[in-house]
Amino acid sequence: MRSILITGGNGGLGLGIGRYFLEKFPEDRVWLGVRSNRDKAEALVAEFEGRCRVVDLEVTSKDAWEKAVETIMAADGQLDVLVNNAGAHQDSLLATMTDEAWSSVVSSNLDSVFLGCRAVIRPMMGRKFGRIINIASLSAVLPPLGQTNYAAAKAGVVALSQTLAKEVARAGITVNSILPGYIETEALSHMDADAAKLAKRGIPMRRFGRPEEVAVAVGFLACQDAGYVTGSALKIDGGIF
């Protein structure tokens, strides 16, 4: 049995990752870290009753992380996999970017990963096993205009993952990051048909990725057989970069 915590567990990517574990690995227990808008997360819980639960988690709060980990440890006695998936963006050119837009995006995308990794390291070290998968973005290595805050935060996630991987390698814990490109989630819902068509022209595969295609990569990095894979940054982008 593995106990798995996925942040951003109410969004398309988080739900897709959670569903993958629940469908492919009958012994797994999945915790969906959610701050608000629980309906879709609760639907997955109902579908996999007894194996999937929602845990309150404001990812930018140290206290919330500690409480969430305590809740999971009390219920399962272990926490094997952390998928740091929560994030947000507020795009604008740097010259007009507000202080709030900078600090909010950096906090939700980078501070959250720092807090989450720190919160789970001790219980993972206690079992000499752990898998941490941090969802970054292709923007970390191929940043578009208007995303100085988001790109900087996601680049920080990659660097944090690579550094932490070295620090905990001897404890049996691996730390990797995934850099998705365009994935069919609510994050792309604002794109009109013309913008979507233009975006696809820049993708060698000429299509957007699907959440389940990211979930498969997360599943591999979380498995026992991926024990020698750590500090990696895996792009899932249809060949853009």
Where along the chain do its domains lie? 3-236
Predicted local confidence at residue 76, as pLDDT: 97
Quick count: other Cβ atoms within 10 Å of Cβ 155?
18
Annotated active-site residue in 20, 150, 182, 228: 150
**pLDDT tens digits for the chain (241 residues)?**
999 999 999 999 999 999 999 999 999 999 999 998 899 999 999 999 999 999 999 999 999 999 999 999 999 999 999 999 999 999 999 999 999 999 999 999 999 999 999 999 999 999 999 999 999 999 999 999 999 999 999 999 999 999 999 999 999 999 999 999 988 887 776 777 888 888 888 888 899 989 999 999 999 999 999 999 999 999 999 998 8
**36 exposure class (CB count in 10 Å sphere: 0-12, 13-18, 19+):** exposed
* pLDDT for 185: 82
Distance of CA 204 to the CA centre of its chain: 25
Per the CATH hierarchy, to which homologous superfamily does domain 3-236 belong?
A: NAD(P)-binding Rossmann-like Domain (3.40.50.720)
Q: Which region holds residue 164: left if phi is over 0, alpha if psi is between -120 and 50, else beta? A: alpha
* Annotation says 150 is catalytic: yes
Pairing of strands 81-84, 130-135: parallel
127 to each of 69, 82, 100, 120, 228, how far by Cα in Å?
Answer: 15, 14, 40, 11, 17
Could you tell me the pTM of the whole model?
Answer: 0.95
CA distance linking residue 129 with residue 121, whole number of Å:
10
